[in-house]
Amino acid sequence: MSEQRTREYGVEGMSCEHCSASVREEVAGLEGVEEVTVDLTSGRLEVQGQRFSDEQIRSAVARAGYELAGSG
């Protein structure tokens, strides 16, 4: 059974479009992720898809070189 979900995260440290593009690419490459929206100004990351976990998102954001807000 496929369960569609939408989750929002905050990303710290993005300062330009290159940053947000890196984050978007890494997260979009995750299995189960279908749509990724990154708002550079607010640092908001919105992910739509199926069966992705917060931990996967955290790792993908880290690979891009950034951190989820409030992850400490």
Q: Interface with Cu ion by CB under 5 A: which residues?
A: 15-16, 18-19
Closest approach of Cu ion to the CB of residue 9, in Å: 18
CB closer to Cu ion, 14 vs 30? 14
Closest approach of Cu ion to the CB of residue 21, in Å: 8
Task: State the amino acid at position 69 in one-letter form.
Answer: A
Closest approach of Cu ion to the CB of residue 16, in Å: 3
Strand order through the sheet with 67-68: 33-39, 44-50, 4-12, 67-68
CB closer to Cu ion, 23 vs 47? 23
